[in-house]
Amino acid sequence: MNPQPPHDITELTGPMVRELPKSVSGLERHEVIGDILEAQSEERRSRLRESLEHYLWMMNENEASDIDMGGNGCDGKIWYRVHGNKRPVKNGPGLKLAETDFLLHNVLMPKQREHLLKQRNLDFSYSLGDEEEHPQRFRADMYFELEHLALNMRKIDNEIRPFSGLGLHKEVAKALSLKYLKYGLTLVTGITGSGKSTTLDTIIDANNRTVESHVVVIASPVELVHQPKKSIVRHREVGRDVNSFKEGAVQAMRQDPDIIVIGELRDPDTIMTALEVTDSGHKVFGTLHTASAMESIDRIIGEVPPIEQERVRNRLADVLTCVISQKLVPSVDGKRILAKEVLVTSPSVRAAVRNDNVSEIYQMLYEGSASGMHTMEQDLVRLYKQGRISRDVATANANNKKRLKELIDHSI
Domains in the chain: how many in total?
2
Exposure b/e, 205-228, CB count within 10 A at least 16 = b = bbbbeebebbbbbbbbbbbbbbee
Cis peptide before 221 (omega within 30 of 0): yes
Is residue 177 domain-shared with residue 150, that is, in the same domain?
Answer: no
For 137-158, the DSSP string reads EEEEEEEEETTEEEEEEEEPPS
| Rounded to 5°, angle at Cα 43 from 40 and 46 | 95
Q: Given this model, what pLDDT does residue 132 score?
A: 63
- Are residues 61 and 150 part of one domain? yes
By residue range, what is the domain housing residue 144?
Answer: 9-155
Determine the Cα–Cα distance for residues 5 and 51; give it in Å rounded to an integer: 5
Using the 3D structure, point to which of 99, 125, 155 is the last residue of a domain. 155
Amino acid at 124: F
What are the angstrom distances between the C-alpha of 291 and each of 288, 333, 359?
9, 24, 15
If asked whether residues 349 and 272 sit together in one domain, one would say: yes
pLDDT at 150: 96
Flag whether 395 is in a domain. Answer: no
- For residue 155, the tally of other CB atoms under 10 A from its CB is 20
* pTM score, whole prediction: 0.79
Q: What is the CATH number of the domain that holds 174?
A: 3.40.50.300
Residues 144 and 179 placed together within one structural domain of the fold: no
- In this structure, the answer to whether residues 365 and 239 fall within a common structural domain is yes
Shared domain for 42 and 87, answered yes or no, is: yes
Question: What was the pLDDT predicted at 300?
Answer: 93
Q: Are residues 346 and 324 in the same domain?
A: yes
pLDDT of residue 130: 66
**Helices marked H in 62-165 — which ranges?**
97-105, 110-119
Q: Do 146 and 267 have their domain in common? A: no
In this structure, the answer to whether residues 45 and 174 fall within a common structural domain is no
Per-residue pLDDT tens digits of the chain, which is 412 residues long: 555 677 889 999 999 999 999 899 999 999 999 999 999 999 999 999 999 999 999 998 888 999 999 999 999 999 999 988 899 988 878 899 999 999 999 999 999 999 999 999 998 888 887 666 667 889 899 999 999 999 999 998 778 889 999 999 999 999 999 999 999 999 999 988 888 989 999 999 999 999 999 999 999 888 888 999 999 999 998 888 998 999 999 999 999 999 999 988 988 889 999 999 999 999 999 999 999 999 999 999 998 889 989 999 999 999 999 999 999 999 999 889 999 999 999 999 999 999 999 999 999 999 999 999 999 999 999 999 999 999 999 999 999 999 999 999 886 5
